[in-house]
């Protein structure tokens, strides 16, 4: 650990925090864990319903979260029962790319080994299984590995799943940029034997023989995220990543990457020193150095991240507090190549890739909408069965998208016809006729599985979207492309702070409304209204929606229009002067006081 380079005099470099605080308990747990072993194996084979605190922390690095069914908490309390412990496992899928066999393997695992029989596509192109029981946790992970997938580093203080633009275009440059996700994933995976020993019955290795050249025995100070984007497809939200790589393609060649550092969205209510932040440009590197770029930044995070306070232990705080110049100096001193200036001045665009598209090799891909990424069968929609039929019948390439949807790729014209018939037969949601708000909506799981949720998100968003759709139809805005993202707490798992409308759980039944992000994902939203009851969300949004509908310039998106209001000092914080929930009267008064802003 601590491979710090000596600083030549006169050069600004990063410095370690001069904190006298002790390292956190999680750091202690990692340090004492013998490379992520802890007592996980013993606990797994014991009668205890769950794992001890330290093991719970270590388990995250194995892609496992101990949770409980929060719906059942009250009943269990009243009836004197214990919490019902269940496990979430996160399966890493670099770039979201799956073979048909992998998809079908995951479908079967979900069917046989989870309580809700569902697969969930996450906002980082992974799969999550919810409601795995302790008795079958090992079997679940074993079977995930049998289909050549892994849960290692699904969560925890390591490099998380590497995201990539999901569209499977045949162009070699595009393929190469997407392929980088898998290469990075392989290059940054931990070397410990613990995972194999515990879950795959691998040979027991003396932990003194283990070593982690990149991570060290304490691993990273916190999670670390990398996403690859393209100027014409920023669905991976590169600005919200610790490292965002914008791939520069020229003809058939993947030339290099513009590098953003220090993005991150998590924050905590009432803690102003926690905040969402967009990545800052670091420079440009030729594609052949992309792995070294990410590895070096991970090493710098390892060496300088704050191990005394987990809320402060993200790369974004290093960049914000010590400045990009110091960071760049240090980076340049560590890498083997010359960092070049940022290339070009391209603008990012958003894509959801829903519906049918040509791949460029005579074949097609089809993006299928999934509400909140939840692939399951219900009484009204047998989506999981339909997907199984498609994958069994057509053997397509399968790609999970950063918008929680799925792409079936490599389809011939005949396959497309068959796929369309399955879509019809199972009445799967189609983009034709789908409102903009629904199409661009995402919500995090929140209740009942997420232990950090303050409010509902995934379960309530259908109602919220119904309300919003009615309003958008009334204002003839229903075809507008827009992102609406909802989370059950301020951690930002559905990336609400870069959306046009972000709805963030504040206290049960109440949400903060953020406005002013946009589809491109390159601008942070502002807090517009605080602590709004769910039933009043549309009412509180109405003044801005009405003004946008009637007074915007042609084609101007909601986020852009809102920023115009901000520039004219009409907003921000129309309603945030008071800590109280806004009442109907205050909202109506604001509507009346809102000045007319004409087109620029």
Phi-psi group of 39: left, alpha or beta (phi > 0 → left; psi -120 to 50 → alpha; rest → beta)? alpha
In the sheet that 243-250 helps form, which strands lie side by side, from edge to edge?
A: 226-230, 243-250, 253-261, 280-286
- Residues 127, 277, 505: CA angle, nearest 5 degrees: 60
457 binds, among ligand SF4, ligand SRM, none (CB under 5 to 8 A by kind): ligand SF4
- Least distance from ligand SRM to the Cβ atom of residue 265, Å: 4
Residue 222, both tokens: 């916190």
Residue with Cβ nearer ligand SF4 (88 or 144): 88
Q: Which contacts (CB < 8 Å, 24+ apart) does range 586-595 have?
A: 587/536, 587/539, 587/540, 587/542, 587/543, 590/543, 591/542, 591/543, 591/546, 594/543, 594/547, 594/570, 595/568, 595/570
String marking each residue 545-584 x if it binds ligand SF4 according to CB under 6 A: ----------------------------------------
Contact 296, 331 (CB under 8 A): yes
- Least distance from ligand SF4 to the Cβ atom of residue 434, Å: 24
* 340 three-class SS: strand
Catalytic residue among 444, 495, 542, 552: 444
Residue with Cβ nearer ligand SF4 (445 or 582): 445
Q: What is the DSSP letter of 455?
A: S
Catalytic residue among 124, 438, 450, 542: 450
450 as an active site residue: the answer is yes
- Least distance from ligand SF4 to the Cβ atom of residue 505, Å: 6
128 binds, among ligand SRM, ligand SF4, none (CB under 5 to 8 A by kind): ligand SRM
- Least distance from ligand SRM to the Cβ atom of residue 263, Å: 7
Q: Which of 392, 445, 386 has the alpha carbon at shortest distance from 120? A: 445
493 as an active site residue: the answer is yes
Q: How far is CA 122 from the centre of its chain?
A: 7
Measured CA to CA, the distance from residue 232 to residue 334 in angstroms comes to 31
155 as an active site residue: the answer is no
Query: Under the criterion CB under 6 A, does residue 457 sit at the interface with ligand SF4?
Result: yes
Q: Find the radius of gyration of the CA atoms of the chain.
A: 24
Burial environment of residue 584 by CB neighbours within 10 A (0 to 12, 13 to 18, 19 or more) = exposed
270 as an active site residue: the answer is no
Residue 556 vs residues 239, 482, 597: alpha-carbon distances, Å: 22, 11, 13
264 binds, among ligand SRM, ligand SF4, none (CB under 5 to 8 A by kind): ligand SRM
Measured CA to CA, the distance from residue 471 to residue 548 in angstroms comes to 13
113 binds, among ligand SF4, ligand SRM, none (CB under 5 to 8 A by kind): none
In the sheet that 441-443 helps form, which strands lie side by side, from edge to edge?
A: 441-443, 484-487, 501-507, 510-515, 526-533
- Least distance from ligand SRM to the Cβ atom of residue 571, Å: 24
265 binds, among ligand SRM, ligand SF4, none (CB under 5 to 8 A by kind): ligand SRM
Contact 192, 199 (CB under 8 A): no
122 binds, among ligand SF4, ligand SRM, none (CB under 5 to 8 A by kind): ligand SRM
- Least distance from ligand SF4 to the Cβ atom of residue 442, Å: 11
Catalytic residue among 13, 90, 134, 316: 90
88 binds, among ligand SRM, ligand SF4, none (CB under 5 to 8 A by kind): ligand SRM
Burial environment of residue 385 by CB neighbours within 10 A (0 to 12, 13 to 18, 19 or more) = middle
Q: Which of 421, 432, 440, 434 has the alpha carbon at shortest distance from 473? A: 434
Contact 501, 541 (CB under 8 A): yes
* 177 three-class SS: helix
Contact 443, 372 (CB under 8 A): yes
Residue with Cβ nearer ligand SRM (86 or 565): 86
Catalytic residue among 155, 178, 388, 489: 489
Of 176, 324, 452, 527, the residue at the interface with ligand SF4 (CB under 6 A) is: 452
Residues with Cβ within 8 Å of 345's Cβ and at least 6 positions away in sequence, in order, are none
Report the site for ligand SF4 in 483-522 (rule: CB under 6 A).
Answer: 487-489, 491, 493
153 as an active site residue: the answer is no
Sign of the C-alpha dihedral, residues 127, 163, 159, 316? negative
Segment near ligand SF4 (CB under 6 A); pick from 28-36, 65-73, 75-83, 448-456:
448-456
- Least distance from ligand SF4 to the Cβ atom of residue 494, Å: 7
Segment near ligand SF4 (CB under 6 A); pick from 208-216, 323-331, 371-379, 444-452:
444-452
223 as an active site residue: the answer is yes
368 binds, among ligand SF4, ligand SRM, none (CB under 5 to 8 A by kind): none
Cα of first residue to Cα of last residue in the chain, in angstroms, is 55
Residue with Cβ nearer ligand SF4 (247 or 453): 453
- Least distance from ligand SF4 to the Cβ atom of residue 595, Å: 35
Burial environment of residue 358 by CB neighbours within 10 A (0 to 12, 13 to 18, 19 or more) = exposed
Query: Under the criterion CB under 6 A, does residue 176 sit at the interface with ligand SF4?
Result: no
Tell me how long the chain is. 600
147 binds, among ligand SRM, ligand SF4, none (CB under 5 to 8 A by kind): none
90 as an active site residue: the answer is yes
Residues that bind ligand SRM (CB under 6 A): 65, 88, 90, 122-124, 126, 128, 155, 160-161, 225, 240, 264-266, 314, 373, 444-445, 449-452, 491-495
Which residues bind to ligand SF4, rule: CB under 6 A?
444-446, 450, 452-453, 457, 487-489, 491, 493
Active site members: 90, 160, 223, 225, 444, 450, 489, 493
């Amino acid at each position: 650990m601590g491979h710090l380079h000596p600083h030549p005099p006169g050069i600004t470099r990063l410095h370690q925090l001069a904190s006298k605080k002790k390292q956190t308990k999680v750091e202690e747990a990692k340090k004492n864990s013998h490379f992520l072993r802890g007592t996980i194996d013993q606990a797994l084979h014991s009668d205890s319903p769950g794992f001890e605190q330290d093991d719970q922390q270590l388990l995250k690095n194995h892609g496992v979260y101990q949770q409980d069914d929060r719906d059942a908490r009250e009943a269990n309390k009243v009836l004197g029962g214990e919490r019902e412990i269940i496990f979430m496992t996160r399966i890493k899928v670099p770039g979201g790319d799956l073979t048909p066999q992998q998809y079908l393997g995951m479908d079967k695992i979900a069917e046989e080994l989870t309580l809700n029989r569902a697969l969930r596509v996450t906002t980082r192109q992974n799969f999550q299984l919810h409601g795995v029981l302790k008795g079958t946790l090992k079997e679940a992970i074993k079977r995930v590995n049998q289909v050549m997938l892994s849960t290692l580093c699904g969560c925890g203080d390591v490099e998380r799943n590497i995201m990539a633009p999901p569209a499977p275009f045949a162009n070699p440059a595009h393929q190469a940029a997407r392929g980088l996700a898998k290469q990075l994933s392989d290059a940054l995976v931990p070397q410990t034997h613990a995972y194999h020993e515990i879950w795959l019955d691998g040979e027991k290795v003396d932990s003194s023989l283990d070593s982690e050249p990149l991570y060290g025995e304490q691993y990273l100070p916190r999670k670390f995220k990398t996403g690859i984007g393209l100027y014409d497809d920023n669905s991976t939200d590169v600005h919200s990543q610790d490292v965002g790589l914008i791939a520069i393609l020229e003809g058939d060649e993947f030339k290099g990457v513009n590098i953003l550092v220090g993005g991150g969205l998590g924050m905590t209510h009432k803690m102003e020193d926690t905040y969402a932040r967009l990545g800052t440009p670091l420079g440009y590197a030729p594609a052949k150095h992309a792995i070294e770029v990410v590895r070096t930044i991970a090493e710098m995070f390892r060496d300088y991240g704050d191990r005394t306070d987990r809320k402060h232990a993200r790369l974004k705080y290093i960049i914000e507090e010590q400045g990009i110049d110091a960071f760049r100096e240090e980076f340049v001193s560590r890498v083997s190549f010359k960092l070049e200036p940022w290339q070009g001045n391209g603008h990012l665009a958003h894509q959801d890739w829903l519906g049918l598209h040509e791949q460029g090799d005579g074949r097609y891909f089809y993006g299928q909408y999934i509400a909140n990424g939840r692939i399951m069968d219900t009484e009204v929609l047998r989506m999981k069965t339909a997907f199984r039929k498609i994958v069994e019948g057509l053997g397509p390439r399968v790609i999970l998208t950063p918008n929680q949807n799925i792409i079936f790729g490599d389809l011939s014209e005949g396959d497309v016809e068959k796929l369309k018939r399955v879509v019809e037969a199972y009445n799967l949601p189609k983009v034709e006729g789908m409102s903009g708000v629904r199409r661009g909506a995402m919500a995090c799981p929140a209740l009942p599985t997420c232990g950090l949720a303050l409010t509902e998100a995934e379960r309530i968003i259908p109602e919220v979207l119904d309300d919003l759709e009615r309003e958008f139809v009334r204002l003839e805005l229903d075809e507008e492309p827009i992102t609406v993202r909802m989370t059950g707490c301020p951690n930002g798992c559905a990336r609400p702070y870069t959306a046009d409308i972000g709805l963030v759980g504040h206290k049960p039944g109440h949400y903060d409304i953020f406005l002013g992000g946009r589809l491109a994902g390159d601008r942070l939203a502002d807090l517009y209204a605080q602590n709004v009851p769910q039933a009043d969300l549309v009412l509180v949004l109405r003044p801005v929606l009405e003004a946008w509908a009637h007074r915007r310039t042609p084609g101007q998106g909601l986020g852009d229009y809102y920023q115009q209001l901000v520039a004219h000092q009409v907003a921000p914080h129309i309603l945030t002067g008071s800590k109280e929930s806004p009442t109907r009267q205050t909202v109506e008064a604001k509507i009346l006081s809102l000045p007319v802003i004409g087109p620029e």
